Structure 1
C-alpha cells in the first residue's frame, strides 16, 4: 500500500480497503487495482455499503456492467436500493456519458468539470440522513471515468482528471474510490505513468493476491516473491532487448543482401536486353549482308563469268596458253559465284522471305544433310506464314541447335518437328548425345542455350531443355498473337557490326 503523508494505517505494509481507513481528512482519494471484475465489484460494494447503511449518499459513475453488478451485490447484502434511490442517496451514472459532458477536444475542461461533478455531489450531499456536516456525512463516490480514458490511450487526460478530483475536494466532502485494471499497465513505458497515478491518490490498494491478512512474515514473504519476480522480468527484458537488437541486425543484413540481389538482377536484366538487341542486330546485319552479296556481289561475279564464257567461245582464235587461262578463270568465277550464293543463303536464306519458314528449313536441312549431318525434318502440312521476326527466330533456333549437333560424332539422326496450333507455334529438336568434336572435349551447350532462351523470351514464349536417354530434347512454344511490347529498333553500332 502507498499513502500520502498525513494519512494513517493500522499496520505498516498492510494494503487497507477504503472501509478500514480512518476519516481524519475531509476528503479521501483512493485507488483500487484489480485483475478480476468480480473482485472489484466486491471491493466497491464494501465501500458503498458503509455509506448507505450509515445514511450517507453514494454515487456510482461506472460502466453499464459494473453498475448492474454493484446493484446486485448491494441487494444481496440487504441494502434497500429502491428506497435509497427514492431518497436520492444512491445515484448510478454512466461513465462515458458523464465524461462527455465536460470533455473538450480530448481534454477535461476544469469549469465544466466543477459544474457537472459539483452539482452531482451537492445534490447527493443534501439528501443525506443528517444535516450536520461531519466526516460521517461525506458522499461515497466510485468512479471509472479515469480508467475509461486510460483504455482509450488518453494518458495525459487521465492524469488531468485525477488532479481535477483533488482540486474539487476543497469545496466538497467526499470519499472517492477509483478502479484501475492492473493489466492496463503491462508495458515498460507505463511505469512512470503508474507512479504518477499512485501519487495522485491518498491510498493505493493492491490488486487481489496481495496478503491483506496475516502476519508480518506473510507480507515479507510476498514482498520477497515480488522481488524475485521482478528479477525474472528484468532478465527477460534484457534478453528480449538483445534478441530485438539481433533481429534488427539480421534485418539490416537481409536488406543489404536484398539490395545486392536486386542490383545483380538489374545487371542481369540489362545483359539480357543487350543480348536480345545484339541478336536482333546480328540478324538484321546478316540479312543486309546477304542482300548485298546476292544483289551486288553475285551479280558482278555472274557478269564476270559471262565475260569469261564469251572468251571461252573464242578459244580457237586464242593461243593455247591464253585459252587455258580463260578456262581456269571461268571455272574460278563459277566457283566464286557458287560460294557467294551459298554464303548469302547461310547468312539469310531468301527462301525465308519468299516462301516462309517451312520451305527455308527444308532447304537448310537438305544442305546440312549433304555435308554429312543426319537430320530428319517433320513440318506439319498447311503450316502457313508468320511475321518475319517470328520466322527468323524459329530459323535461328534450328540453326543454332543443329550447328551444335553437327559437332558430335553419332550415327543417330537429329529430329526437328515444327507444328502449329490455334494460338502457338510448336518446335521440338531432339538431338543425340555423342562425343564432342570440340578441341577441349566439351559440348559447351550454355552458349546456344542462352541464345535460344533469349530469342524465345523476345517473343514472350517458353522453352524447356529436357535430358532424355538418347540425348537432349528442346521444346519451344511461341505465341502467335501480336506481342504487347516490342523491342526498340536495334542500333547497328561498330561494336555490334563487328560482332555480327
Structure 2
C-alpha cells in the first residue's frame, strides 16, 4: 500500500491546475472559501476529463450537482449525450452515504460494494476514470470527524487498487475550531492540495504549519 506523502513532499498547486497532469493514484483536496471558487475548480476537473475521454464520476450535494450541471449545459455539453457515451456519472452525496453508513460510521464492505460497481461501470470500454467525492464534506459538516477521516482512508485504499484520480473539497466555513489541527487531519489523507488563491484562506494554515510558503 502506498504511503501518504510527507509534509516535504506536498505540492502546492494553483487553482487553475492543469488536471491532465494529475496522475492516477493522486488524491487531491481543495479547501475553498466560496462556492464559486469550488465550482470553477470542479468544472475544470470535469470538463478536462470529458475532453480527455475519461469517465468522470461526480458524487456531490444536490445544490452543487445542480450548479455543475447548469454550467455544463451553458457551456454546450449535453448531459444526456455524456451519460450515453459513459463520460459522466453523477450521484447525490447524501443518497450515496445512506448506502454504506452504519451507526454513523462507514462500513468498509458496503463502501467497497458501492464504489466498485461505479468504477466497473466507469471503466467500460477501458476508459480512464477520475472522480469527485463530496461525501466526506457532508460528514465533516455534521462534525463527524472520525468518520470523515475513515472515509478518506477507505478512498485512499480503493484509489491505490484501481488507479484513478480522486478530488475532494471542503468549505472553509467548516473549519471553525482549532483550525490547524482540523486542517492537518484532512490534509494528511491527501497527496496534493489546490490553493484557493486567497492568501488568508484556511488552506494556508497547513502550508505555514509545515513550512511551505
Superposition TM-score, scaled by structure 1 size:
0.37
The 1-side partners of 2:76 and 2:95 are apart by: 29
Task: Tell me the residue number matched to 1:72.
Answer: 70
Which of these residues, 158, 163, 181, is aligned with residue 173 of structure 1?
163
Q: What's the counterpart of residue 343 of structure 1?
A: none
Q: Which residue of 2 aligns with 1:192?
A: 181
Deviation at 1:61, TM superposition (A): 0.6
Kept in 2: contact 1:62–1:144 (CA 8 A): yes
Deviations 1:108-148 (A, max 9, x none): 01111111111111111115xxx3xxxxx431211110000
Q: What is the CA-CA distance between 1:171 and the residue it aligns to?
A: 2.5
8 Å Cα contact 2:31-2:196 kept in structure 1: yes
| Superimposed CA distance per residue, residues 469-491 of structure 1 (whole angstroms, 9 cap, x where no aligned partner) | xxxxxxxxxxxxxxxxxxxxxxx
**SS of residue paired to 2:161:** coil
1:149 is displaced (CA, Å) by 0.2
**How far did residue 60 of structure 1 move?**
1.0
The whole-number CA distance in structure 2 between the counterparts of 1:17 and 1:67 is 21
After superposition, the Cα gap between the structure-2 partners of 1:205 and 1:101, relative to the gap in structure 1 and judged at 3 Å, is same
The residue number in structure 2 matching 1:139 is 129
When residues 14 and 49 of structure 1 are mapped into structure 2, their CA distance, relative to the original with a 3 A threshold, is closer
Structure 1 residue aligned with 2:194: 205
Partner of 1:149: 139
Could you tell me which residue of structure 1 aligns to residue 211 of structure 2?
Answer: none
Aligned to 2:41: 43
What is the aligned partner in structure 2 of residue 95 from structure 1? Answer: 93
Secondary structure of the structure 1 residue equivalent to 2:185: helix
The answer to whether the 8 Å contact 2:108/2:154 transfers is yes
Cα deviation, 1:57-115, whole Å, max 9, x if unaligned, reads: 11111111100111111223333322111123211101011001011111001111111
CA distance in 2, matches of 1:18, 1:177: 12
Alignment match of 1:183 (pick from 170, 173, 178): 173
Larger radius of gyration: 1
Structure number with greater CO (CA < 8 Å, separation at least 6) is 2
After TM superposition, list the pairs within 5 Å mapping 1:227-376 onto structure 2: none
**TM-score under structure 2 normalisation?**
0.83
Contact 1:8 1:22 in 2 (8 A): no
- 1:196-231 Cα offsets, whole Å, 9 max, x none, are 2101111111324249xxxxxxxxxxx8xx98xxxx
Does the Cα contact within 8 Å between 1:60 and 1:143 map onto a contact in 2?
Answer: yes
Distance in 1, matches of 2:79 and 2:163, equals: 23
Give the corresponding residue for 2:5.
4
CA distance in 1, matches of 2:91, 2:197: 26
1:212-223 alignment to 2 at 5 Å? none
Report the alpha carbon displacement of residue 163 of structure 1 after superposing the two structures with TM.
Answer: 0.2
Q: Relative to structure 1, is the Cα distance of residues 8 and 201 closer, same or farther in structure 2, using a 3 angstrom cutoff?
A: closer
CA RMSD of aligned residues (A): 2.6
Q: Which runs of 5+ in 2 are unaligned?
A: 209-213
- Is contact 2:26-2:164 (8 Å) kept? yes
How far the C-alpha of 1:7 sits from its partner, in A, is 6.8
Which secondary structure does the structure 1 equivalent of 2:162 belong to? coil
Mapped contact 1:34–1:208 kept (Cα < 8 A): no
Change (3 A) 1:14 1:166: closer
Q: Residue 54 of structure 2 contacts residue 87 of structure 2 at CA under 8 Å; is this kept in 1?
A: yes
Cα distance in 1 for partners of 2:164, 2:119 equals 8
Q: Is structure 2 residue 27 aligned with structure 1 residue 26? A: no
